[in-house]
Amino acid sequence: MTLDDQGWVNRARRVLSPNCNSRPSGCGIDLFVIHNISLPPREYGGPGVEQLFTNCLNPDEHPFYAEIVGLRVSAHFFIRRDGELVQFVPTTQRAWHAGVSNWRGRAGCNDFSLGVELEGCDFEPFSTEQYTVLIALTRLLQQRFPQLELTGHQDIAPGRKTDPGPYFDWRRLRQGLA
């Protein structure tokens, strides 16, 4: 797995999201935010996440979609249950994944972070394939961004977000990176 100078991972399937923009001038990347997502909720393998991140979600396909159809969100990466890696935004750009957020006194985490969505929810474990890909991706990103710290969405938006949730195995991730 490699990361090119334009911010694309060679082993990731590219699906371009319009929900991104330039980072503020002089703003480095030092945070990697882990999220979870499934669309429809608790259903896996469908096109919902890609449709959401590309502004193509059809509100008639599921009742929940009608509630979120106007959202303009994205993440840099998405890891499906089977370990497929999808990239929506190059690391050189700011993806819109964190929302209102704060990390160690710094507001607006999108400015200085990368975001990865794991296909899943707060109510069940993630797959071995997801951890394998997440560990490889994190290693790659830490090579490019040596100061990169890891955190969950719940840590940068407490009270507002709960992901990646109680079933995310932080110890497994950290042991895999050791």
Catalytically active residues, by annotation: 117
Torsion, Cα 125 86 152 96, to 10 degrees, reads -140
114, containing H or E segment: strand 113-119
Residue 117 three-state SS: strand
Task: With beta carbons less than 8 A apart as the criterion, state whether 54 and 17 touch.
Answer: yes
Task: With beta carbons less than 8 A apart as the criterion, state whether 9 and 78 touch.
Answer: no
b/e code 132-149 from CB counts within 10 Å (16+ = b): ebbbbbbebbeeebeebe
Give one word for 96, left, alpha or beta, with left for phi > 0 and alpha for psi -120 to 50. Answer: beta
Task: With beta carbons less than 8 A apart as the criterion, state whether 29 and 145 touch.
Answer: yes
